[in-house]
Amino acid sequence: MFRSHVSRIGALILGAALALPFSGAALAQSPAPPTTAPVKGADVKHNANPQVTPPTAESPPGQGQTSTAVPGWNNPPANWNQLSEKPQYASLPGSEKNVLIQGSGREWRAFRNGPLTQVGGWLIVIVLAAIIIFYLIKGPIRLKGAPTGRLIERFNAVERAAHWTMAISFVFLALTGIVIFFGKHIILPWLGYTGFSWLTIVSKNLHNFVGPLFIFSIVVGFLIFVKDNLLRSYDWKWITSFGGMFSGHEVPSGRFNGLEKMWFWGGVTLLGIIMAVTGLILDFPNWNQVRESMQTANVIHVIAAVLFICAAFGHIYMGTIGMEGAYRAMRDGYVDEEWAREHHAIWYDEVRQGKRPEKIGGAQPQPAPGDD
């Protein structure tokens, strides 16, 4: 098959070479062709230059600029970028199916890979570094009094299941999102193209499938915890004094303090809704949204995700190594009575007075190795 094609091409070249000496004489002796009306829709003018015919003043845009560098082939026009961005014919139904190239896509890619990546990356690094420095200077918040050994229920089984579902799904989304968004800058140089390709494919699929689970956990978590996150008058005092962290006298708070309520409303609720809506737009392109909507949703999704990750760093810090006994509260569901009295005095009083559904009593469990 390959030899037959070569033979045909050789024959065409040989025939053209043999006919070339006679073509000039034939054209000189032949009468001028009759004047005819131009063929409607023709966009190519032939002349002695077989490369590109320059456009004339009478030529409409896009005509007279078709490349004929390889005669007989369907060459793209010289102004291909301009023509390809205009709607053409397409047999597939749907929005923008007849647009080959969207010009604003270049602007989105430049912004995403430029300022958005740089600012977002540095913000994450700065917040993480600030938390590390704070821990090295301040250390964990420990109890001032001795533990009593009497326990108070902090979170029941349903609340812990909702929280851990949200937390674990967030970790998967954060890690895979970082790979997708920053991977070409921090992973590709040392992993290589093949390894990074596989890592990105796995990350993309995990991100797409874990996303709806995260949305579901946010809805469930909101319904469970909203009643205890309504703002009260004493929350403003806690927020303005930062809980008394630097003064040494902790401000009394309810079941959740002012900072935890800010995280609930600003992080979980507001940023969670933004990430959920934009994530679904990106996750289901079959909803027939146009590409500009997808690009806008991508930018908003990335900004919300970066802010969510930065705020989550603080929440994770305070819930693990930043405060003694906080992690065991979400793991086992109980805290020591002294812990409740020092960190959430208003909630502690309400539990003791029977105004809360949480239980009091039970033996102090033996701490696991490495626990506070």
Per the CB < 8 A criterion, the answer to whether 264 and 224 are in contact is no
How many other C-beta atoms lie within 10 A of the C-beta of residue 98?
Answer: 14
- The pLDDT, as a whole number, for residue 362 is 57
- Domain ranges in the chain? 157-352
Q: Residue 286: its pLDDT value, please?
A: 78
Alpha-carbon gap, residue 325 to 17, rounded angstroms = 91
**Cβ–Cβ < 8 Å for 253, 238:** yes
Among 163, 146, 325, smallest CA distance to 228 is for 163
Identity (one letter) of the amino acid at 116? Answer: L
Q: Is the pLDDT of residue 353 over 70?
A: yes
Strands (E), the chain: 151-153, 334-336
Domain 157-352 has CATH 3.40.50.2300: no
- pLDDT one-digit tens code per residue, 130-158: 999 999 998 998 998 899 999 999 999 99
pLDDT on residue 172 = 97
pLDDT at 313: 96
Q: Evaluate whether 310 touches 125 at the Cβ level (below 8 Å).
A: no
Identity of the highest mean pLDDT range in 44-53, 81-90, 138-147, 222-231: 222-231
End-to-end CA distance of the chain: 77
Name the amino acid, one letter, at 39. Answer: V
Q: Which of 293, 298, 305, 283 is nearest to 111 (CA)?
A: 298
Task: Write the pLDDT tens digit of every residue in 206-232.
Answer: 999 999 999 999 999 999 999 999 999
Token code pair at residue 277: 């809506």
What DSSP assignment string belongs to 133-162? Answer: HHHHHH--B--SSPP-S-EEE-S-HHHHHH
pLDDT band at 249 (very low <50, low <70, confident <90, very high): confident
- Give the CA count within 13 Å in the CB-facing half-sphere of 53: 16
Cα–Cα nearest to 173, from 265, 278, 329: 278
CA distance 180 to 198: 11
Q: What is the predicted pLDDT for the residue at 208?
A: 95
Q: What is the pLDDT of residues 95-134, one digit of tens each?
A: 766 677 777 788 888 999 899 999 999 999 999 999 999 9
Cβ-contact 293, 285 below 8 angstroms: no
Cα–Cα distance for residue pair 4/69, rounded to 1 Å:
24
Retrieve residue 338's tokens.
Answer: 């002294």
| DSSP β-bridge partners for residue 151 | 336
Sign of CA dihedral 136, 137, 141, 144: positive
CA-to-CA distance for 36 and 245, rounded, in angstroms?
91
Alpha helices, H only, 226-325: 233-240, 258-262, 272-283, 291-319
Residue 43 confidence (pLDDT): 45
Please name the residues in contact with 223: beta carbons below 8 A apart, sequence gap of 6 or more.
Answer: none
